[in-house]
Protein backbone atom coordinates (compact mmCIF):
# COMPACT_ATOMS: atom_id res chain seq x y z
CA UNK A 1 0.00 0.00 0.00
CA UNK A 2 2.86 2.38 0.80
CA UNK A 3 4.43 1.75 -2.61
CA UNK A 4 1.15 2.54 -4.37
CA UNK A 5 0.74 5.80 -2.42
CA UNK A 6 4.36 6.78 -3.06
CA UNK A 7 4.05 6.11 -6.79
CA UNK A 8 0.81 8.09 -6.96
CA UNK A 9 2.36 11.00 -5.05
CA UNK A 10 5.42 11.07 -7.32
CA UNK A 11 3.15 10.96 -10.39
CA UNK A 12 1.08 13.89 -9.11
CA UNK A 13 4.26 15.83 -8.28
CA UNK A 14 5.49 15.30 -11.85
CA UNK A 15 2.12 16.44 -13.24
CA UNK A 16 2.15 19.61 -11.15
CA UNK A 17 5.75 20.35 -12.10
CA UNK A 18 4.92 19.95 -15.79
CA UNK A 19 1.91 22.27 -15.47
CA UNK A 20 3.89 24.94 -13.61
CA UNK A 21 6.68 25.09 -16.18
CA UNK A 22 4.34 24.89 -19.18
CA UNK A 23 2.34 27.77 -17.66
CA UNK A 24 5.55 29.72 -17.14
CA UNK A 25 6.41 29.31 -20.81
CA UNK A 26 2.95 30.45 -21.82
CA UNK A 27 3.23 33.52 -19.59
CA UNK A 28 6.69 34.55 -20.82
CA UNK A 29 6.41 33.80 -24.53
CA UNK A 30 4.97 37.15 -25.62
CA UNK A 31 6.50 39.48 -28.16
CA UNK A 32 5.92 42.56 -25.97
CA UNK A 33 8.03 41.00 -23.18
CA UNK A 34 10.72 39.47 -25.38
CA UNK A 35 14.32 40.30 -24.58
CA UNK A 36 17.54 38.29 -24.37
CA UNK A 37 16.95 37.31 -20.74
CA UNK A 38 13.45 36.02 -21.54
CA UNK A 39 14.77 33.98 -24.46
CA UNK A 40 17.33 32.31 -22.19
CA UNK A 41 14.73 31.78 -19.47
CA UNK A 42 12.33 30.17 -21.95
CA UNK A 43 15.06 27.73 -22.97
CA UNK A 44 15.76 26.86 -19.31
CA UNK A 45 12.05 26.46 -18.58
CA UNK A 46 11.77 24.18 -21.57
CA UNK A 47 14.52 21.91 -20.22
CA UNK A 48 12.74 21.68 -16.87
CA UNK A 49 9.47 21.00 -18.73
CA UNK A 50 11.18 18.19 -20.65
CA UNK A 51 12.54 16.70 -17.41
CA UNK A 52 9.08 16.94 -15.81
CA UNK A 53 7.52 15.20 -18.83
CA UNK A 54 10.14 12.43 -18.62
CA UNK A 55 9.50 12.04 -14.87
CA UNK A 56 5.77 11.98 -15.55
CA UNK A 57 6.26 9.18 -18.05
CA UNK A 58 8.60 7.27 -15.72
CA UNK A 59 6.30 7.56 -12.71
CA UNK A 60 3.39 6.49 -14.88
CA UNK A 61 5.33 3.45 -16.07
CA UNK A 62 6.27 2.69 -12.46
CA UNK A 63 2.60 2.74 -11.51
CA UNK A 64 1.82 0.55 -14.50
CA UNK A 65 4.37 -2.13 -13.64
CA UNK A 66 4.68 -1.92 -9.83
CA UNK A 67 1.26 -0.59 -8.89
CA UNK A 68 -1.39 -2.80 -7.38
CA UNK A 69 -3.59 -2.94 -10.48
CA UNK A 70 -0.96 -4.30 -12.85
CA UNK A 71 -0.28 -3.93 -16.55
CA UNK A 72 -3.16 -6.08 -17.79
CA UNK A 73 -5.71 -3.92 -15.97
CA UNK A 74 -4.30 -0.68 -17.36
CA UNK A 75 -4.03 -1.81 -20.97
CA UNK A 76 -7.59 -3.17 -20.89
CA UNK A 77 -8.96 0.30 -20.09
CA UNK A 78 -9.99 2.42 -23.12
CA UNK A 79 -9.45 5.70 -21.25
CA UNK A 80 -5.86 4.64 -20.50
CA UNK A 81 -5.26 4.60 -24.25
CA UNK A 82 -6.96 7.99 -24.66
CA UNK A 83 -4.69 9.38 -21.93
CA UNK A 84 -1.56 7.94 -23.51
CA UNK A 85 -2.55 9.21 -26.95
CA UNK A 86 -3.07 12.71 -25.59
CA UNK A 87 0.27 12.55 -23.73
CA UNK A 88 2.08 11.56 -26.92
CA UNK A 89 0.26 14.31 -28.83
CA UNK A 90 1.35 16.92 -26.26
CA UNK A 91 4.91 15.59 -26.46
CA UNK A 92 4.92 15.89 -30.25
CA UNK A 93 3.46 19.39 -30.13
CA UNK A 94 6.16 20.43 -27.64
CA UNK A 95 8.91 19.78 -30.19
CA UNK A 96 8.22 22.92 -32.23
CA UNK A 97 8.51 25.40 -29.32
CA UNK A 98 11.58 23.55 -27.99
CA UNK A 99 13.33 23.88 -31.32
CA UNK A 100 12.33 27.55 -31.55
CA UNK A 101 13.76 28.33 -28.10
CA UNK A 102 17.06 26.67 -28.97
CA UNK A 103 17.20 28.49 -32.29
CA UNK A 104 16.53 31.82 -30.55
CA UNK A 105 19.29 31.22 -27.98
CA UNK A 106 21.72 30.18 -30.72
CA UNK A 107 20.79 33.27 -32.71
CA UNK A 108 21.41 35.54 -29.74
CA UNK A 109 24.80 33.88 -29.17
CA UNK A 110 25.68 34.66 -32.79
CA UNK A 111 24.64 38.30 -32.45
CA UNK A 112 21.31 38.00 -34.28
CA UNK A 113 18.22 39.97 -33.37
CA UNK A 114 15.43 38.76 -31.14
CA UNK A 115 12.71 36.71 -32.82
CA UNK A 116 10.07 38.80 -34.55
CA UNK A 117 6.57 39.19 -33.17
CA UNK A 118 5.07 36.78 -35.70
CA UNK A 119 7.50 33.99 -34.77
CA UNK A 120 6.93 34.54 -31.05
CA UNK A 121 3.15 34.48 -31.57
CA UNK A 122 3.39 31.26 -33.57
CA UNK A 123 5.50 29.61 -30.91
CA UNK A 124 3.16 30.79 -28.18
CA UNK A 125 0.22 29.29 -30.09
CA UNK A 126 1.89 25.84 -29.95
CA UNK A 127 2.51 26.30 -26.21
CA UNK A 128 -1.12 27.25 -25.67
CA UNK A 129 -2.32 24.16 -27.55
CA UNK A 130 -0.30 22.06 -25.11
CA UNK A 131 -1.59 24.07 -22.18
CA UNK A 132 -5.16 23.35 -23.26
CA UNK A 133 -4.58 19.64 -23.90
CA UNK A 134 -2.93 18.89 -20.54
CA UNK A 135 -6.14 19.59 -18.55
CA UNK A 136 -8.04 17.33 -20.95
CA UNK A 137 -5.68 14.54 -19.90
CA UNK A 138 -6.56 15.28 -16.28
CA UNK A 139 -10.29 15.18 -17.06
CA UNK A 140 -9.87 11.81 -18.79
CA UNK A 141 -7.98 10.55 -15.71
CA UNK A 142 -10.80 11.67 -13.41
CA UNK A 143 -13.44 9.87 -15.47
CA UNK A 144 -11.22 6.81 -15.69
CA UNK A 145 -10.64 6.78 -11.93
CA UNK A 146 -14.44 6.87 -11.45
CA UNK A 147 -14.83 3.69 -13.52
CA UNK A 148 -16.16 5.20 -16.73
* Rounded Cα–Cα distance for residues 60 and 34 (Å): 35
% the chain with pLDDT above 90 = 86
pTM recorded for the entire structure: 0.91
Domain limits, the chain = 2-145
Q: For position 147, what pLDDT does the model report? A: 75
> Tens digits of per-residue pLDDT, 48-72?
999 999 999 999 999 999 988 888 9
* Ramachandran angles phi, psi of 100, nearest 5°: -65, -45
CA distances from 134 to 31, 53, 65, 99 (A): 24, 11, 23, 20
> Tens digits of per-residue pLDDT, 69-119?
888 988 899 999 999 999 999 999 999 999 999 999 999 999 999 999 999
Q: For position 145, what pLDDT does the model report? A: 77
117-145 and 78-93 are packed helices; what angle lies between their axes, rounded to 10 degrees? 170
Mean per-residue pLDDT over the chain, rounded? 94
Amino acid sequence: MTLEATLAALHILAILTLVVFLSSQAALCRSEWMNAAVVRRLARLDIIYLVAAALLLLTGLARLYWGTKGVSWYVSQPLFHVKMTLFVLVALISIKPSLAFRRWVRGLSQGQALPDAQEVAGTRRWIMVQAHLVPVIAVVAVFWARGM
